[in-house]
């Protein structure tokens, strides 16, 4: 398809969303510059899996988003038509250990890039990967673009600083600055530090006889689980718009961590039977009686929103966003990828 932009900057290209977005844009003929942390190697397993590491229209470079001069230098030299800011601290659990670092990485880093765009590429469209965590524990569900912000975690606050900055720079300086309020979106490229990939990898290893069980935290937390490639397609379309706006990206369906685990183990050929309650809850495999999942109290967060589920009606109408992959299919795809990795010894 034809885009309004021919050059795109993707911060955090080595992450799940960055890699999928880069692959999509490169396939459309867009020239992509992707950034990674200066201390990180340029090679990346996700780009390798997608077969784009050596693409002639892909350029990789190190960038510290907290370095104001570096942000300005890169954007001035590249003159991108679209800026996708996907880099930052991406784990809620880590934000409790380093709250100030999370606010700096996600909030101040976004401000630095916005200022660089304002000064050196004011005609670009800036798209931020915001988060449903800005809503915290809302009194009503589903959440949409008008839902009040009340972040519970340092991570949610860090994303709110960035999210609010987009609206402020849009109003104050007339920039095309858009926030995609992303609800949970998973894939075969998810990092093992995230609970969904932790579960699918464990299910694969247990099915192959390599492990016995997996420890999880809050099994009751309900999240809106979507499929990442469908979400990055909406990000690409969002950057095509002339003006900036905010859009919720979600499936509108909520499932608990317990339900996701049941689907994932089922995809690996293992039935789970849940027993006990609270910190004593666990799941066994009927017939064998072997414990496959148990709760580890040390994995429970100080604050954990009980229900986050989004209303993406606006994105469906205006971005053509249409999530089709349901929970069972999502879990199946992730488990199949992990089974292949474990069988071949290729373990990112």
Query: Which sequence positions are flagged as catalytic?
Result: 133, 155
Smallest Cα–Cα separation from 166: which of 102, 111, 108?
A: 111
What residues are paired with 298 via a beta bridge?
none
- CA 53/CA 66 separation, integer angstroms: 26
Assess contact for 49 and 123: CB atoms under 8 A: no
Q: Where are the alpha helices (DSSP H) in 268-326?
A: 313-319
CA torsion sign for 275, 332, 312, 317 is negative
Q: What are the structure tokens assigned to 38, written together?
A: 């200066």
Do residues 238 and 84 make contact, with C-beta atoms less than 8 angstroms apart?
no
Q: Using CA atoms, how far apart are residues 22 and 13, in angstroms rounded to an integer? A: 7
Helix (H) or strand (E) holding 78: helix 68-78
The vertex-63 CA angle with 61 and 67, nearest 5°, equals 155
Phi, then psi, of 185 in degrees rounded to 5:
-140, 125
Encoded tokens for 151: 């972040």
Q: Tell me the C-alpha to C-alpha distance, in Å, between residue 327 and each of 83, 175, 232, 322.
A: 30, 37, 18, 15
Run of H or E including 10: strand 7-11
Helix (H) or strand (E) holding 64: none
Question: If phi over 0 gives left and psi between -120 and 50 gives alpha, with beta otherwise, what is residue 79?
Answer: left
Beta-sheet strands, E only, within 150-299:
176-182, 185-186, 214-216, 222-223, 226-227, 246-249, 255-256, 273-275, 282-285, 290-295
Find the helix packing angle between 109-120 and 154-173, rounded to 10°: 20
End-to-end alpha-carbon separation of the chain, Å? 32
């Amino acid at each position: 398809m034809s885009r309004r932009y021919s050059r795109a900057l993707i911060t955090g290209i080595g992450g799940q969303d960055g890699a999928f977005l880069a692959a999509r844009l490169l396939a459309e003929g867009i020239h992509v510059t992707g950034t990674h942390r200066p201390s990180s190697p340029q090679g990346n397993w996700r780009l390798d899996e997608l077969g784009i590491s050596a693409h002639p229209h892909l350029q990789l470079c190190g960038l510290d988003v907290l370095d104001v001069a570096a942000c300005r230098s890169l954007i001035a030299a590249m003159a991108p038509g679209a800026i996708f800011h996907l880099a930052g601290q991406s784990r809620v659990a880590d934000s409790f250990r380093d709250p100030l670092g999370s606010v700096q990485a996600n909030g101040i880093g976004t401000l630095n890039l916005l200022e660089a765009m304002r000064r050196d590429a004011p005609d670009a469209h800036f798209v931020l990967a915001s988060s449903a965590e800005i809503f915290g524990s809302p009194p009503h569900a589903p959440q949409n673009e008008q839902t009040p912000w009340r972040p519970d975690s340092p991570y949610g606050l860090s994303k709110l600083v960035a999210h609010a900055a987009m609206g402020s720079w849009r109003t104050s300086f007339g920039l095309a600055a858009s926030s995609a309020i992303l609800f949970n979106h998973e894939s075969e490229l998810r990092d093992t530090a995230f609970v969904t990939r932790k579960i699918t990898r464990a299910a694969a290893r247990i099915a192959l006889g390599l492990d016995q069980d997996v420890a999880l935290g809050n099994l009751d937390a309900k999240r809106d689980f979507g499929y990442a490639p469908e979400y990055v397609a909406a990000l690409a379309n969002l950057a095509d718009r002339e003006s900036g706006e905010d859009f919720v990206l979600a499936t509108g369906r909520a499932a608990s961590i317990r339900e996701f685990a049941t689907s994932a183990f089922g995809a690996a050929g293992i039935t789970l039977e849940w027993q006990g309650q609270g910190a004593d809850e666990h799941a066994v495999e009927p017939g064998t009686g072997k414990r496959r999942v148990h709760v580890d109290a040390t994995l429970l967060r100080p604050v954990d929103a009980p229900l986050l589920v989004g209303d993406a009606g606006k994105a469906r109408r205006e971005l053509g966003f249409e999530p089709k992959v349901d929970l069972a299919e999502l879990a199946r795809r992730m488990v199949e990828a992990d089974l292949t990795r474990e069988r071949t010894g290729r373990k990112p």
